[in-house]
Structure 1
Amino acid sequence: MSNLKIGVIGIPGKWSTEVLADRLEALTGFRAVIDMADVELCLDTKQLLHKGLDLGRLDGVIVKKISEVYAPSAEDRALMLSHIEAMGVPVFSPSTTIRQMINRLSGTLALQRGGVPMPETRVTESIDVAVSVIKALKEVILKPLYSTKARGMQILNAQQPDSELREVLAAFKQEHGLFYLQKTVELDGRDLGMVFLGGKYICTYARVAGDGSWNTTINSGGHYEAYEPTPELIELGRKAQACYNLSFTTVDIALTSGGPVVFEVSAFGGFKGALEGCGLDVAAQYADYVVAQIQNGKA
């Protein structure tokens, strides 16, 4: 057992947060679950504190979940973590990467620059332009820039009256600002989660949609199954995750009639899909990886 002190940024009581803290405790004897809502940045004393724990004195921090929901405030939380990074405390994944990926637009732009195939995507502030995009693409998913697990997403199609589209878009703009419009793709009721740790491929699982759901998220009744990808598919996932500096992630891939496309790369990645779909305890693997990185001075 090492004597490292590694904290877990996450949501207290949530399974993925607690299981990672458990795995770290088994390796190090130290356990700290840190809710960023309770963190205090003391610029005068140059400390980042959580209920008396000085995060600047830790050997490392793993960010499992920086916020319950994505929002601009989550980027602020990542910026606060950059304070201890500047002091030499390694953060997994780095705060600059987290900030880049919390915003759907900046994450998408990285994939586009990396030449990763994605569904046709258009971004605009204009309601007029948004309506013309919907007419041209026939059917789109309107996505907030800050969201996870399909929260806040809506399907819009060219058959809807212009007045109805404009009403929906006006309400959306008032809450979210930009319109991120992505053409729907034909799925066979599932998409894939491809798991990478330190850039190394681990496994792939399928998310299978529940009855009557347009998306495959577990929140909407989906479930996990095992999936064996081709080498070409693994290479696509590797290419997508390489667009970012991530310690651990899952790449969301859809198999379409026109070939595979990447929906997104997760800022944090989940453990349950790999456990239920692949039978692997990747939380334990992640804990082992972080301990090894810190002990070997690679972090």
Structure 2
Amino acid sequence: MIPSAIKELDSALNKVRSEMINQMNKAGAKIGGGETKVLTTEARLASTARNTIASKGHKPAPLSHYKHKDGWPDLAKKKNDSATNDVLKYYVIASFSQKANIEAKLYKPGARVGWKRIIDQKKPYKSGAYWADKMPINGTAWRFDYAVKSDWSKNGIFVALDRIPTIAELEKLNIVVPKNWQGLKVWEGQVAEQLDLEKMQGSGLLLAGGEKQLYIDFGHPDNQPIRQYIENMVKIQKTNWNDAILPKKLEDTVAYLAAREKAQKTVQQGQVARGVSATGRANTKHEQSKAN
């Protein structure tokens, strides 16, 4: 069975190619052999790619969607004051979907969690802020369901936190634990959608999001013991995914689709040839049986 994320990508890429060819034909471009005159601008390519995957409604949460809880890291303080709008300004809050609440959760010492963090092997930050509550089934699902822009991560490796260590386990590792420590303080919600485009670099496809997201501020005093534990004790593992990389540029999306279409036609022609061959052999045997 083909995972739904792969089906969506397959359908989306077909739409992108069809629409782009249509645009170029209208502009008088010649598609196929010989010189190809591509008159479509990057802006039009971006518009086309952006609309090929339907939004699931996971728009970025506004500041008003966030309800702070005393004792937890304040997400409203995670901001870029030079940003031109609230989505860019309150970037952590905006990474959550407005379709679900952003909830404060406490995970006590000894609690089993099974969390995963997918990492770019060139930037192996084990104790980063964003985590998933399960391992994505493949790279395509990770890229689209967790809305990870190509510019943010190429994946390759991951870390797993299976349980929250106890105070005794932390102290045995010489990790300082705050007095009256109750556990790890986490913010949870659903992933907001993202457009896979940064400074006109990226596939231009909509990454629909919607999966569960955990945000852990390891700079918070109550979370620092777990940060040290992850850095010292959690091992890096390989994802072994080969389906997480999208085209790097908008125009590369077209080339990618063209190559994919050619490969599909080759497979189809082979299937037809085998079918004709099998039919020919069957007819020959039938004629021979009639002659006998």
Task: Tell me the TM-score normalized by structure 1.
Answer: 0.22
Rg larger for: 2
Q: Which has the higher relative contact order, 1 or 2, with Cα contacts under 8 A spaced 6 or more apart?
A: 2
